[in-house]
Amino acid sequence: MEVIKKPDPKFAYWHGIPREEIPWYPTIDEEKCIGCKLCFVSCGRNVFSFDNEIHKAVVTKPYNCMVGCSTCATICPTGAILFPPKEIVHKIEKEHRVIGKIQKKAKAKMAKQEYERVRAEVLAELEKATFNMKYAITGHILERKLLNKLLEYMKDKPLDLVDIKLHTPSIKGCWNEKAPSYLEFVLSATGESDLEGYTKEIDKIIEESGCVIIEKNKV
């Protein structure tokens, strides 16, 4: 079977390093391989093919292998799969200063996880609320500072806006071309049985800002 020396495009780089420059991939001891197909089935990156003529697994896309991964060797029942020493990866990390490069990625991932955590908590509180109203609004939301006005109104009231989604064609389009934006949110109040008075004021603020309510439903 032909061995493909280039990785699939989505595996072409490892932290900015061309994958072909990193000699990390499995090799198979054919004498030990019993053709169980465990590596062939388990590898999610299609590193292995299976040769039905010799009834053995074959490494056909070595550079698809995740750098540092050796799961296939761990699960191989006969120890037929071998990898280079881990020191090769450590050397690459030092030479290319990988640890420094990933700090921004780590910060972004942590920020995303924190966002998801807070969002889950907010949505959990939303489910406990006694009264919720979903709004969909269109208009010059950013330019008219609609969210700022709503926040000012709610600051001393048992209200909050949750699950906010703002869609805008482009930031320049909003200011230069006066393109409208689209805003969705849920007005939520805990401990209140009736939001009628509050929603009237919210509606008034929206309308005085020149925006249009296109949907308003209890949820």
Q: Average pLDDT in the 102-131 region? A: 82
Q: Where are the domains of the chain?
A: 9-96, 129-218
pLDDT of amino acid 146: 95
Please, is 112 exposed, middle or buried when counting C-beta atoms within 10 Å of its C-beta (0-12, 13-18, 19+)? exposed
Q: Which helix (H) or strand (E) holds 174?
A: helix 171-176
pLDDT of amino acid 167: 93
Q: Which three-class secondary structure state does DSSP give residue 179? A: coil
Cβ(202)–Cβ(157) under 8 Å? no
| HSE value, Cβ hemisphere, 13 Å, CA-based, for 124 | 6
Query: Is the whole-model pTM more than 0.75?
Result: no
Please indicate whether residue 197 or residue 95 has the higher confidence score (pLDDT): 95
Cβ neighbours of residue 183 under 8 Å, at least 6 residues apart? 135, 136, 137, 138, 141, 146, 147, 164, 165, 166, 167, 211
The topology under which CATH files domain 129-218 is Alpha-Beta Plaits (3.30.70)
Q: Which helix (H) or strand (E) holds 132?
A: strand 131-139
- What is d(CA 59, CA 4) in angstroms, rounded to the nearest whole number? 9
Q: Characterise 37 by phi-psi region: left (phi > 0), alpha (psi -120 to 50), beta (else).
A: left
Architecture, CATH, for domain 9-96: 2-Layer Sandwich (3.30)
Q: What percent of the chain has pLDDT over 70?
A: 95
Nearest in space to 143 (alpha carbons), one of 195, 179, 90: 179
pLDDT at 130 over 60: no
In Å, how far are 3, 83, 115, 186 from 88, measured between CA atoms? 22, 10, 36, 53
Q: Average pLDDT in the 75-102 region? A: 91
pLDDT of amino acid 105: 85
Please provide the average confidence, as pLDDT, over all residues in the chain: 90
pLDDT at 59 over 90: yes
Q: Could you tell me the two tokens for 107?
A: 């910060």
pLDDT tens digits for 138-154? 999 998 999 999 999 99
Q: Could you tell me the two tokens for 212?
A: 């249009």
Domains 9-96 and 129-218 share a fold: yes
Cβ neighbours of residue 8 under 8 Å, at least 6 residues apart? 45, 46, 61, 64
- Per-residue pLDDT band at 84 (split at 50, 70, 90): very high
Nearest in space to 29 (alpha carbons), one of 66, 79, 64, 75: 79
Q: Average pLDDT in the 26-51 region? A: 96
Q: Could you tell me the two tokens for 11?
A: 């595996």
Q: Average pLDDT in the 85-95 region? A: 91
Q: Which three-class secondary structure state does DSSP give residue 62? A: helix
Q: b or e along 50-75 (b: 16 or more beta carbons within 10 Å of the residue's beta carbon)?
A: beeeeebbbbbbbbbbbbebbebbee
- Per-residue pLDDT band at 88 (split at 50, 70, 90): very high
